[in-house]
Structure 1
Amino acid sequence: MDDKIEIALSYYGQKQKQILDAVNLSSNLTADQIISFGEEMSILEYKITALEVAKEN
């Protein structure tokens, strides 16, 4: 089970990095795009937190 959690954590970590890179490399994002990226990051943070808690238990 720990292997699956580690794989999921790695996947979501990569997704986070992709979003951060997209935001940091773009100089012409609209407010709606920034909000959308923020919402995606929030969802990823919840998933990562849940997986880390599951990993500890």
Structure 2
Amino acid sequence: MEDKIEVTIAYYTKKGQDILDAVNSRNDLTADELIHYGEEMAIIEYKLTALEVANEN
């Protein structure tokens, strides 16, 4: 089971990095885009936190 959790953690870590890269590579983001990316990051961080807790138990 831990292997699946580790793979999932790696997946969401990559997705979060992709969002950060997308935001950092653009200078013309609108407020709506920033809000959208922020919401996506919040979801990813929530999932990562839950996965890390599950991995510890």
TM above 0.5:
yes
Q: Which runs of 5+ in 2 are unaligned?
A: none
CA distance in 1, matches of 2:5, 2:31: 34
CA RMSD of aligned residues (A): 0.3
Aligned residues: 57
**What TM-score results when the alignment is normalised by the length of structure 2?**
0.99
Q: Which runs of 5+ in 1 are unaligned?
A: none
Identity of aligned residues (%): 61
CA distance in 2, matches of 1:14, 1:45: 12
**What TM-score results when the alignment is normalised by the length of structure 1?**
0.99
Q: Which runs of 4+ in 1 moved over 2 A?
A: none
